[in-house]
Amino acid sequence: MSTISNLPLLGTATGEVIVAVVDKGEPEPRRMRQASLNQIGEFINREIVTYNIVTATTATLGGIIVGDGLNIEEGVLSVANIITTATTTTQGTIIIGDGLEIDNGVVSVTSMGATGARGATGTRGSTGATGPRLTAVISTTKPLVAVAGDMWLDVGYSGQLLTYNGSVWVAAAPGGSIGATGLVGGPGATGPQGATGATGLVGGSGATGPQGATGPQGIPGVFAGQGGTGATGPEATATVSATKPTSPDQGDLWLDLETTGQLFTWDGNVWVSASPGGAGIVGATGPTGATGPSGGGATGATGLSGVDGATGATGPQGATGPVNPNTALTLIKTTTTSYIPTTNDHGYYIRMNSASTVTVTLVSDSTENIPIGTTYIIGMVGTGHVAISSGSGAVVYSPTDYLMTDRWGKITAMKTAANTWEIDGAI
């Protein structure tokens, strides 16, 4: 019987996979051949079939009844001693005669008569059950589904022809069965780091957060009183004349209609020109000449009125007068019981002087429409605590609590909207 040796893959030709094969049925030395996978498939279907001769003891389909010299040894049928004297049908015997002879265990025909007429064909027996269909697979990986007797030519790893025995794949060609799968190799070295990606786009600006609540208004400052009016500065004088004014004050103006026709101002020492490009300092007035004789002519017409002189410069503001010691400061109200402030308490310092806990109630508009902006200063001057409460329909906001526990502590309460109060301070 021919077999395929476990030889490596040689190459490819005309698009087919070619492997090396050897026919072990040949005498030594055997020749190596090349065969394609298609040829190997045909070889498997045609040649690699094993028949086991059954040593049956009864009439068994496909079996041989041995005995009386008819033996089977290692699958080889042999005739060791055939009885030649049988005259009836006996198991393991051959009836000789009429040209059928046995010589040294060899059956031969020496002379036979004419062949008789062919008997009629017997009826056809029933078809036997279909045997299992065997599969031959040529691949690089083991078939996923197999039945006993299936063949697999491993062209990816071992190059062997394997058969499935019902549990595992075993070598059909000389060689051992496939060994267990080797251990998985350790992880390979880490590859180089990839290039850094481009920087992402800058996100847009976030929405503006809501505006925080307005803080409470501070305690009103103390009114120190209005200062007195400063002294009135000197009033400048404008003179229109032919002669210089006498006893002038600084800033006085003089329009000289007699000599120069210019406007002059007194700088505190001399008259200087107030007109652009005017003459220099006016000299002192000369002595008055003797009065001439009266003319006999008629009196001349009254001359035109001179222009109004410029307004004198404003004098410096006087110093602020002293603070009036009698001016009223912050108004103070003291109570020993719970209290409800009103509009008239605006600006008051309300002192809660009690040995037990008392309450200050800030009311809603339905109780009293107190103007928005009304402010109270509330202080704890006794040992009793002071609770700040909201009246019906009112709401009071506080950053911490609504109970004053520290003696001499103060808080500010301000109405900031309709029915709304805010407090802050020693609370």
The pLDDT tens digits of the residues spanning 372-389 come to 999 999 999 999 999 999
Going by DSSP bridges, is the β-strand pair 16-22/32-36 parallel, antiparallel, or unpaired?
antiparallel
Residue at a domain's end among 67, 90, 109: 109
Q: Is the dihedral of CA 335, 338, 343, 347 positive or negative?
A: positive
Q: Which of 80, 67, 88 is nearest to 97 (CA)?
A: 88
**371 in any annotated domain:** yes
Supply 341's token pair.
Answer: 């402030």
Tell me if 23 sits within 8 A of 30, measured CB to CB. yes
Total domain count, the chain: 4
Confidence band of 16 (pLDDT split at 50, 70, 90): low
Is residue 204 assigned to a domain? no
Q: How do strand 16-22 and strand 9-13 relate by DSSP bridges?
A: antiparallel
Same domain, 85 and 152: no
Give the list of residues 6+ apart from residue 217 with CB closer than 8 angstroms, or none: 373, 375, 412, 414
Is it the case that residue 126 has pLDDT exceeding 80?
yes
Buried b (16+ CB within 10 A) or exposed e, 298-323: eeeeeeeeeeebeebeeeeeeeeeee
Q: Is 141 helix (H, G, I), strand (E, B) or coil?
A: coil
Tell me, yes or no, whether 104 and 141 share the same domain. no
Q: Is residue 278 domain-resident? A: no
81 and 148 fall within a common domain: no
pLDDT given at position 405 = 95
Using the CB atoms, write b or e for 109-143: b if 16+ within 10 Å.
eeeeeeeeeeeeeeeeeeeeeeeeebebbbeeebe
Answer for the pair 48, 172: CB distance below 8 angstroms, yes or no.
Answer: yes
Spatial CA neighbour of 352 closest among 332, 375, 328, 330: 332
User: How many CA atoms, within 13 angstroms, populate the side-chain half-sphere of residue 209?
Assistant: 2
Domain boundary (273, 295, 319) is at 273
Residue 45 lies inside a defined structural domain of this protein: no
Alpha-helix residue ranges (DSSP H) falling in 113-258: none
**Does residue 35 lie in a domain region?**
no
Give the residue from 273, 292, 316 where a domain finishes.
Answer: 273
With a threshold of 0.85, does the pTM exceed it?
no
Please check whether residue 65 lies inside any domain of the structure. yes
pLDDT, tens only, 255-313: 887 777 788 898 888 888 876 555 445 455 566 666 656 555 566 566 666 666 667 67
Q: Indicate the average pLDDT of the chain.
A: 74
Does any domain span residue 308?
Answer: no
| Domain interval for residue 84 | 54-109
According to the model, what pLDDT value does residue 260 have?
78
Instruction: Say if residue 353 is in the same domain as residue 395.
Output: yes
